[in-house]
Structure 1
Amino acid sequence: MKDDGRPLFLQIAEQIENAIIDGSLPEETRVPSTNELAAFHRINPATAANGISRLVADGLLYKRRGIGMFVARGARDLLLERRRESFGRTYIAPLLTEAHKLGMDAEDLKKMIDFWREDQP
């Protein structure tokens, strides 16, 4: 795990969330155990357990007694909805505020987005 200033358990949770979103951990798939995560990342198993517990509390994972933790049905859709909402708050709302200050309308923004999209490799 890289030290990005956030608690390690949050980084573990986000890593699993990202795997759910990108499809590498499909719904109803077993996720690595806390001991497997701890060994892989060289962290305390309790830290990994905190990350897993957070995902269980959020309804993204569930436990099958004696087998392990699994990705819940609907987890990907739930994560996509949350991330889109967060994206809107973090990026779109400030973008619209700044565009308004600059006297830009939706068409101006679309042209700018198209310009920058074409400029990407």
Structure 2
Amino acid sequence: MKPIYVQIAEWLENEILNHRIQAHDKMYSQYQLAELFNINPATAGKGITKLLDDDLIYKKRGLGTFVSDEARLRIIQKRKEETLQTLIDELVLEADYLNVSDDELIERINQARKGGSYDG
């Protein structure tokens, strides 16, 4: 299981990806997050710091933290490079174990994108 502060950072990233928080919108404070998730404010602060370190948010002295212009694009790129690639590597390895051909694997992916189950 991921540390809570990482879960908080990923939740905030999802809020940005889903357009619930836009570029230049004010980000939740550590105290708001602590109350929302019933966690220690320091833990929430670590989640915010992770986003600061990734240049997804920026601070305005005395005003709080705000979503950077390129936050959504950076999150998409990061997840393509890290998360999606890991999932693809695992999928291909499992398909090899099960002797699933490339054509069948692609057909299964296409079917999943359409929202149906594979009937092959």
* TM-score where L is the length of structure 2: 0.82
Partner secondary structure for residue 63 of structure 1: strand
Within-5 A mapping of 1:27-106: 27-100=23-96, 102=99, 104-105=101-102
Equivalent residue for 2:20, pick from 24, 38, 48: 24
CA distance in 2, matches of 1:77, 1:97: 29
Shift of 1:41: 1.8
Partner secondary structure for residue 23 of structure 2: coil
Q: How many residues align?
A: 115
- The percentage of aligned residue pairs carrying the same residue is 36
RMSD, aligned α-carbons: 1.9
Q: Where do 4+ consecutive residues of structure 1 move more than 4 Å? A: none
Where do 5+ consecutive residues of structure 1 fail to align?
none
Structure-2 change in CA distance of 1:98 and 1:39 (3 Å): closer
CA distance in 2, matches of 1:55, 1:84: 17
Where do 5+ consecutive residues of structure 2 fail to align?
none
